[in-house]
Amino acid sequence: MNPLPYGDKKLRLAMLGMVEGNGHPYSWSIIINGRYEADALSRCPYPAIRDYIGKQPLHTLGIPGAEVTHVWTDNPDEAPMVAKVAGIANVVARPEDVIGQVDAVFVATDKGEEHVERCRPFVEAGIPIFVDKPLCIGRDDLATFERWIAEGKPIISSSAMRYCKEFQPYHRSTYEFGDLRLVTVTMAKSWEAYGIHALEAMYPILGPGFVSVQNIGDGGSNIVHLRHKDGVDVVLTVIPDLYGGFGLVTLAGTKANTQLKFFDNYYSFKTQLESFIDYLRTGQPPVPWTETRELMQLVIAGIESRRQGGRKVLLSELEQPA
């Protein structure tokens, strides 16, 4: 049963899971709860989080009417630290312990291959879920999520890059460039975990309608060409140590061009989290499932193309059984 919409109810939320290299339980909990313990934050093992949270005026923190009240991490030793930093009242021994105690959960891990099983107890309990990017990285898991969505299960997943204030003015609004011909995005880390960041940076600019994906990279670097139905070529470059190019977007058309750079982590994360809270209150998803589905198909096609030596994968192939 889908309990939404919650309306003006005071929302109790659980932050579940933490894997190496992903400190979202720290930052997301602080952003929602609107507070942090300064000494504990100084010992947070993620320098970028210490930096961008520390730069925010305290009055900008917090999402009214919502609070992270429960936390669980894969390593039990980490949950008390997250709780102390963000003022979370309850540390639980198992993720399932929050069922019946909270109104929604965050699956705050970026290993898409694990998300079906991490979500399953809460899907079965009818609890709304926000899943960190990417939702999944395989056909079978995408089919499972699609079935759950068709059954009305309340599941939302997105990349914060969709909410970048640097990119938002160009969402479906690139007329000054003439007809767009080329979009490029550069990104660090792996295609499996961060390809969705590159994809969702440009997807709201072009909109749905991708035709093909070709990844000529190797096991580390990923050089991915996508073709859009509107005649736009997209080149995504995702290289593990390309931190100097994190979130760099180029738009080039028949008349003009621009280059955009992602800077404000805090704005993107807070706007993303607010969109989920709005969903809980209204029952209206911030992004249609059809878009999330196509984005996951692009992620999966990029993996399959690379594994198959750079073969061009048509998105229509992912409409058929593997």
Supply the pTM of this predicted model.
0.96
Report residue 78: phi and psi, to 5°: -90, -25
Residue 28 has pLDDT above 80, yes or no: yes
CB 241 within 8 A of CB 186: no
Answer whether residue 292 is part of any domain: no
Same domain? 112 vs 188: no
Looking up residue 170, the CATH number of its domain turns out to be 3.30.360.10
The predicted structure's pLDDT at residue 1: 74
Which tokens in the block code for residue 11? 């929302």
The predicted structure's pLDDT at residue 7: 98
Same domain? 32 vs 98: yes
Question: Is the bond into 5 cis (omega within 30 degrees of 0)?
Answer: yes
Domain of residue 86: give its range: 11-160+267-287
Find the farthest-apart pair of alpha carbons in the chain and give their distance in angstroms, rounded: 58
The predicted structure's pLDDT at residue 258: 98
The predicted structure's pLDDT at residue 5: 98
Looking up residue 83, the CATH number of its domain turns out to be 3.40.50.720
CA distance 118 to 289: 20
Question: Is the bond into 208 cis (omega within 30 degrees of 0)?
Answer: no
Answer whether residue 61 is part of any domain: yes
Same domain? 114 vs 144: yes
Q: How many domains does the chain have?
A: 2
Q: Is 261 helix (H, G, I), strand (E, B) or coil?
A: strand
The predicted structure's pLDDT at residue 320: 60
Neighbours of 120 (CB within 10 A): 12
CA distance 302 to 313: 8
Same domain? 220 vs 166: yes
| Alpha-carbon separation of residue 186 from 196, 209, 246 (angstroms) | 12, 21, 6
Alpha-helix runs per DSSP H in the chain: 24-33, 38-42, 47-54, 79-86, 115-125, 139-150, 191-206, 265-282, 289-307
Answer whether residue 71 is part of any domain: yes
State mean pLDDT over 18-29: 94
CB 299 within 8 A of CB 195: yes
CA distance 129 to 116: 12
State mean pLDDT over 211-220: 93
Residue 307 gets the label, from left (phi > 0), alpha (psi -120 to 50) or beta, of alpha
pLDDT tens track for 259-277: 999 999 999 999 999 999 9
Answer whether residue 1 is part of any domain: no
Same domain? 194 vs 243: yes
CB 53 within 8 A of CB 30: yes
State mean pLDDT over 54-83: 96
The model's confidence at residue 319, banded by pLDDT at 50, 70 and 90, is confident
Same domain? 188 vs 110: no
Same domain? 156 vs 241: no
Report residue 230: phi and psi, to 5°: -85, 10
Same domain? 59 vs 120: yes
